[in-house]
Chains A and B, each alone.
Chain A
């Protein structure tokens, strides 16, 4: 199992940078994604209007989430759904395990869902000897390899076809191949046997409609349809921020999400489920509403828009940091720019002092976000908070750092002092080797620091005269 450790982002990132195969796979994938997305949204005339609409709907809904969540739960119950309330990860896992036990379910299948990754559901169910089989091809690969996903949309983005081929030979005993179509066919055959036997299906939820109590699940492979059709019980785990007010609002989100995520007009399948359907589907539909820190984010006006995210993954593909190091280096379930703002705020506060700094604040994430989350501003706010309330062992900054900043402040209190500081700095920088000393080394180890100019900037206008 890959170790999730957001507190050591620096070390993780450094290790990822040394992995040539990983960087090649990432470069290829993120380039392709960006290209497909650009082509898909180029064909939409009112793209900006759609984004603004989605942003406004989410801003309204989150500010009245108590109201819409109540409406969603009431409507879902009216349609025959059994609604459960989980305040944290442990409660959610307990609820799912209890439903499995109550219905005597032993063969579990699961469709791709970030919420279930967030709560560590597989590990929790494995303790009851009921670990579900992942059925999304990427998730299944990750499960076979004993790893964790490194991308929200394409969990195995960090693995090459050679690595996947070798994994299948090793785990399934198939003849050697690196052909994606052949590998996918083996997955189809193996997973069909699981689907045929399964008595409990677990999925996530992309959108929950308050007006009707409907849940939506988007996918391309058909495994989510299988998971929500064949077993006699279906459990959907849904973050409470997934609620949208009106059924008609689905149009804007269905036009935004697939285009942003994979560059498709629409994903191959959308399942709209309003209650159980005993005739050709599960006899029971359970929805587990998950808080796990979300109500705290809702209450925090400056950070509330974090929860507008529809998990398209576009910010990952656009991020120059993610492009170089991939998802595992973040050490949290949600990687990339959205992970850097979401993970520190959820229960567990993963990487609160590291992840908000894992960005160059270039703004590419904000530009591609389909719901216009201002990720750079949210990162800055989290940095601000991390500095104001550091963990106990960092509360007092080192002596040299405090001295340095006191000197810095002193020198900037008047033009003469500042001129003197600059003069001394120019002299100092001429000393060979000094540019790599101390904290400067973190920057100059991989970059050139330009030599100081002969004439300081503030003297240039008079020199020109």
Chain B
């Protein structure tokens, strides 16, 4: 008998004759106060130390990205392969070096800022959902000390439950091998429970909510 069979047999023998209580149906997601997803998303994100602002369209977002990068004196930018970013990157000054997801790890580890979109925003918690099968943002969202995110308002959903539902394909299989939920900048409270922002992940998380697609 191999290890799998012997471990399962131990469980099966131990549970022999046991009647399992029924599996309860999935609870409905909570009703959230307030109608406006964008407002709640921004409030929740700010509560955990993230920055959030609304811009009208992609062109306005591009201008704002350039301003923010200049203000933070960003010299090197790690970007994902999202098509929405093309226009934004064109508007950047040539002094900023841009590195795509193919760049080597050392370069990405040294980048000043990461730029990507997110596939879903959760209003309930102010969270971003990064679906790696749809966009190569796994490294640029993690390694640099700043992460700048463009999020169309149309991608906002009300609750955590709705976001989880969006991650499964119709046959019930996950759409992506890797999915990351991000709620605010990296933090720790491991020393005397004092909050410190920015340990291993980005210290700054800035989301631009785009009103028009």
Contacts and interface: CB of A to CB of B under 8 A. Distances in A.
Interface size for chain B: under 10, 10 to 19, 20 to 34, or 35 or more residues?
Answer: 35 or more
A183 interface: yes
A368 B124 CA distance: 23
B196 interface: yes
A29 interface: yes
A223 B200 CA distance: 6
B20 to A, nearest CB: 4
B190 A299 contact: no
Given A184-B196, A225-B201, A63 B174 contact: no
B107 to A, nearest CB: 11
Interface string A267-290: 111111111110111000000010
A64 interface: yes
Interface stretch (B4-12, B61-69, B91-99, B148-156): B4-12
Contact of B173 (A91, A156, A212, A301): A212
Contacts of A154: 189-190, 193
Interface string B176-204: 11111111111111111110101111100
Given A248-B161, A299-B14, A156 B193 contact: no
A56 interface: yes
B21 A60 contact: yes
Given A50-B27, A184-B199, A63 B161 contact: no
Given A85-B7, A184-B188, A269-B201, A222 B15 contact: no
A180 B192 contact: yes
A73 interface: yes
A183 B183 CA distance: 23
Interface residues of A, number: 102
A262 B48 CA distance: 13
B20 A221 contact: no
Contacts of B4: 73, 83, 85
Interface in B110-148: 124-125, 127, 132, 136, 138-139, 142
A251 B7 contact: no
B160 interface: yes
B20 A280 contact: no
Contacts of A161: 191-192, 194
Contacts of B138: 229, 277, 280-281
* Centre residue among B105, B138, B174 by max chain A CB count within 10 A: B174
26 contacts: A28-B192, A28-B193, A33-B193, A56-B22, A64-B20, A69-B11, A136-B190, A154-B190, A160-B192, A180-B196, A187-B199, A191-B200, A221-B188, A223-B199, A225-B200, A226-B142, A226-B201, A247-B172, A268-B184, A269-B183, A275-B177, A277-B177, A279-B132, A280-B132, A281-B138, A291-B10
4 A-B pairs closest in CB distance: A222-B201, A299-B14, A63-B20, A138-B190
Given A61-B23, A266-B127, 13 more contacts: A56-B22, A63-B18, A137-B190, A159-B191, A196-B109, A225-B142, A226-B142, A265-B124, A265-B125, A274-B178, A280-B178, A289-B7, A295-B7
